[in-house]
Amino acid sequence: MHSLPNTIQARIQQALRSTLVERLTTPHGIDRYLEAFNPSWSVFETRARVTAVRRQTEDTVTLSLQPNAQWQGFRAGQYVRLTARIDGKRYTRCFSPANSVHAADGRIELTAKINPDGVLTRHLRDHAAPGMVVTLSEADGSFALPEQRPERVLLISGGSGITPVMSMLRTLCDEGYAGRITFLHYANSASAQLYADELGAIAERHANVELLRAYADGEGGELSGLFSQQQLAEAVPDYAAAETFLCGPPGLMDRVEAAWKSDGIADRLHMERFTAAPIVLPEGEDAEGEVRFLKSERLAPNDGDTLLNQAEAAGLRPDSGCRMGICHACTCTKTAGRVRDLRNGAISDAGEEEIQLCVSVPVGTVALDL
């Protein structure tokens, strides 16, 4: 459908969303029939076809994706949830597009760091190839360039956290942004640096872009070692005047956040975190009640584990992704009962509400629309 004129695409989409088509394709839905002709075709889902794969470093994979007509675009810095079906089960993770929002070809570029224990990232490393089709969520997140561009921009990233700020840099350069930009990136070594060649080329082409790279091994780069407030003051003396956008590993983010707070400029620091504290089950509590899975008509005694683990132990296969409360892939409706959120210890009301299975533990009997 991508090759058809926009007006014809719109008419086809409208027809396929009609009540008549819905009734004719029940219970599977029109998307299940469309994908038999082309896996990327969909009326209701954003799907994307892999058009290119490259490996910038040993532990990453970069995908170029062509989304279908459902894609609504994104703001530089936002993230999407990518879902792939692996051995019959859907796996989801969050990734930030690294491309400019003004990319002329409409494609999305995602770079994933390989988690040795992660099913999805290992699958992408081993099996991603042109023609593979994945599902995308709409873009989400408040970490994004503001519509009114700041006069001074400082971008700080570490490791694979470079992707959202790379999108910001590419976007600003495509717009002919005239303000000063400092791009400060931390990596273990020069060989582990993502987008190394392109960053160098951007700094050469744009006089208003200053590139500062700091490598933990001390070899190469304009700086060396880990972030410190003294290093920052020497390298970027006017940092307090900039709107700063930060994404990276927890250690780097904690140190930067502490520096901005100590200077009283925390309101000028914008952050994106893709890691969470480890999920720890409460100790010294006896699990009571049962977990009722309404749709599947199953019942299991509450064993005190997360609802995601209890659902899987009961033979169900709910969608899941990060398993730490970030990606929201395992969001489910709780119809009755109370649950404890393992991230903050808060106990929910007993009524119906949306919960995340991976970070929720039942407090007594709970019923799920699962």
User: Tokens 């296969």 map to which residue?
Assistant: 317
Helix axes 162-174, 196-205, angle to 10 degrees: 30
- Span 252-268, mean pLDDT? 96
Cis peptide before 250 (omega within 30 of 0): no
Q: pLDDT digits over 48-58, tens only? A: 999 999 999 99
pLDDT of 355 over the 80 cut = yes
User: Tokens 């620091």 map to which residue?
Assistant: 269
- Span 3-16, mean pLDDT? 53
CA distances from 116 to 122, 250, 273 (A): 7, 19, 20
pLDDT of 68 over the 60 cut = yes
Amino acid (1-letter code) at residue 313: A
Please, where are the H alpha helices in 114-195? 119-127, 162-174
Instruction: Give the E-state strand segments of 161-304 in sequence order.
Output: 180-187, 209-215, 223-224, 243-247, 269-272, 290-293, 298-301
Using DSSP's 3-state secondary structure scheme, residue 26 falls into coil
Q: pLDDT digits over 234-253, tens only? A: 999 999 999 999 999 999 99
Note the pTM of the prediction, 2 decimals. Answer: 0.77
- Span 228-238, mean pLDDT? 96
CA distances from 59 to 125, 129, 147, 192, 248 (A): 9, 17, 34, 8, 16
Q: pLDDT digits over 17-43, tens only? A: 556 545 555 554 544 444 544 554 455
Q: What is the pLDDT of residue 20?
A: 55
User: Tokens 């994004």 map to which residue?
Assistant: 144
Residue 342 near residue 287 (C-beta atoms within 8 A): no
Range of weakest confidence among 14-18, 39-43, 188-192, 322-326: 39-43
What is the average pLDDT value for the chain, to the nearest integer?
88
pLDDT of 322 over the 90 cut = no
